[in-house]
Chain A
Amino acid sequence: MLGIKGGDGMAGVRLANVQKSFADVHVLKDINLEINDGEFVVFVGPSGCGKSTLLRTIAGLEEITSGSLHVGDKLVNDVPPSDRGIAMVFQSYALYPHMNLFDNMAFGLQLAKVPKDEISKLVHAAAKTLNIDHLLDRKPKALSGGQRQRVAIGRAIVRKPEVFLFDEPLSNLDAELRVRMRYEFAKLHEELKTTMIYVTHDQVEAMTLADRIVVLRDGRIEQVGSPQELYDHPANEFVAGFLGSPRMNFLEGTLSANGSGDGGLKLKNGVEIASLSGAPASLTNVQCKLGLRPENIKIDKNHKSIDCPVKFVEALGSQTQIYCEIPGAPELLTVVAPGNAKVKTGDMLPLSFAAKDCYWFDAAGKALPRVVA
């Protein structure tokens, strides 16, 4: 349906020991990453983690301080952006305000001295697939946010890049449009099968679009893996907390084991969370953290680990979010229950933490291996 193929040669991207610093500030620290040909990779992380800088170094808009960067087989450390075989879609779209849509999309081809009729063919084909072919003589000012987004994508497509780079492309759109464009990105990748690198701070975008997610923090890669891998086997507390919504609950304490392999987690003020089956023996009698995803906590009188008073309830229709107080824990515990759950503020909830739903972290925040059925 798209009518335009991806780049003639497709290529992966390889980063080895990449460092980037501005004066004394180290923005990227020893980045090693191999992105496969045709893969959709999402960089995700909190603001200031270096994900956009990483993308811009791949684009060639920032020079790397040390390390090597390959696109395909070519070392591109010193290659200007336009010769790297990449195309980029910016958060603000960065459309040239004084040019109409045709010229916006054609500008790069014109500079590359592509013959006129060839340019016209390419631009019209891209515009057609993106449903903006009736707008080609308009200026960007006259377009809606979604249309501008399409022009920005069109400008990238006509370059037939080997790698697409997207810098938070959906963050300027309203919620509804964002969902629709998310779908279109997925479709675009399916059609073009070109390597795509996508930066976002929105973990839903990351989970839905990515073949693999790269989680960054403070200029370092925390973990790389498929969305499900990261969800099930986060490498550490940070990744566990970053992916999943609502956020994972963390309880800090000391684990005491009893004979049968069941453990109890003793919080700082002495409150004990009992019958935690499958607690790792290696953590017995040391400081550790228990992570619990809100959607995994069950309300179950028969296997309860603890009774918690409900502080408040948010009914969202499809589901109910319950906030309970665990005495001594600094934060309220979030529990997701079905939309029809009859819970009100002040109730005592018997909460059950099944062994398979527990994420254990050592004192340094490193995750212990989990077995997932």
Chain B
Amino acid sequence: MQADRWLPKLILSPTLAASLFFVYGFILITIALSFTESRLLPNWEWAGFERYAELFDNERWWTSAQNLAIFGVLFIAVSMALGLLLAIFLDQKIRGEGFLRAIYLYPMALSFIVTGTAWKWILNPGLGLEKLVQSWGFTSFTFDWLVDPDKAIYTVVIAGVWQSAGFAMALFLAGLRGVDSEIIKAAQVDGASMPTIYRRIIVPTLRPVFFSVTLILAHIAIKSFDLVMALTGGGPGTATDVPAIFMYQFSFSRGQLGVGAASAVMMLMTVIAIMVPLMYAETKSANAR
């Protein structure tokens, strides 16, 4: 009884200490670093907002931010739309549902490095998809987005969606299965057709699932580093740079710790700016329910 009083706290304390130091402490250190003169080595001389000024003057940073916006929006929207569509279709008492579900989901098991490597090969203009379609007789077909600076970011979207749509599908399907079947019967008695029932009754009750899916996909998008590294390496040139790559290169390859830290802080701010309102809205509506 006596032991039971302090044991729980003792058990929890290493995790709490780790969280305090390695999460909160490190965030503070990174923030501090972003206000210093640090270049190749940490240099704790106060520099005010100089590093941020440097960051915002850097064209590459803005390319990265723009790419993240394009990638993030398209990746989330398309993954979600595809996932929801597949989930609704799979929910129609489909023969071989388990098998299909397993197929849609397997990309989730892969590393983004593997995904990137595979799609890099498939989308390469010389021997990949372009050549395949040409060999079918469409000799004028070109598909060279991978090496086109204006289009390369969309190849990242293609590969990202391929990997994550199945995951969105799984979450939506679980949500659909969780909808009270009596509500659906009641709507049928009210004379609603199946499409109407989905649109007016079922999808709106999936709100929490939309929330979860958005949260997870947004999180994947903002952290996206490996996929871009493997697929385009940020290229051609810097055309597909994203903030994660920018941060890595400035911190580890170019010896610009201060700027790297500033970009990491900006990434954190972006996450907060997206997560906090989302969570706030969700808890508020959850409480209202």
Give A contacts to B, CB under 8 Å. Answer: 78-80
Q: How far is the CA of A371 from the CA of B4 in the complex (A)?
A: 54
Q: How far is the CA of A295 from the CA of B185 in the complex (A)?
A: 45
Closest to A82 in B: B1
Contacts of B4 in A (CB 8 A): 80
Contacts of A79 in B (CB 8 A): 1
Closest to B4 in A: A80
A-B interface, 4 closest residue pairs, ranked by CB to CB distance from nearest = A80-B1, A78-B1, A79-B1, A80-B4
Q: How far is the CB of A65 from chain B (nearest CB, A)?
A: 15
Range, interface on chain B: under 10
Contacts of A78 in B (CB 8 A): 1
A–B complex contacts, Cβ < 8 Å, 4 sampled? A78-B1, A79-B1, A80-B1, A80-B4
Q: How far is the CA of A80 from the CA of B2 in the complex (A)?
A: 9
Closest to B2 in A: A78
Q: How far is the CA of A78 from the CA of B1 in the complex (A)?
A: 8
Per-residue CB proximity of B1-42 to A under 8 Å, as 1/0? 100100000000000000000000000000000000000000
Q: How far is the CA of A309 from the CA of B4 in the complex (A)?
A: 65
Contacts of A80 in B (CB 8 A): 1, 4
Per-residue CB proximity of B48-92 to A under 8 Å, as 1/0? 000000000000000000000000000000000000000000000
Q: How far is the CA of A290 from the CA of B1 in the complex (A)?
A: 52
Q: How far is the CA of A23 from the CA of B1 in the complex (A)?
A: 21
Closest to B1 in A: A80
Contacts of B1 in A (CB 8 A): 78-80
Closest to A80 in B: B1
Closest to A81 in B: B1
Q: How far is the CA of A80 from the CA of B1 in the complex (A)?
A: 6
Q: How far is the CB of A63 from chain B (nearest CB, A)?
A: 9
Q: How far is the CA of A79 from the CA of B4 in the complex (A)?
A: 12
Q: How far is the CA of A79 from the CA of B1 in the complex (A)?
A: 8
Q: How far is the CA of A78 from the CA of B4 in the complex (A)?
A: 12
Q: How far is the CB of A256 from chain B (nearest CB, A)?
A: 53
Closest to A83 in B: B1
Chain B residues 90 to 107 lying within 8 A of chain A, measured CB to CB, are none
Q: How far is the CA of A225 from the CA of B272 in the complex (A)?
A: 61
Q: How far is the CB of A220 from chain B (nearest CB, A)?
A: 28
Closest to A79 in B: B1
Q: How far is the CB of B193 from chain A (nearest CB, A)?
A: 39
Q: How far is the CA of A15 from the CA of B237 in the complex (A)?
A: 80
Q: How far is the CA of A246 from the CA of B1 in the complex (A)?
A: 46
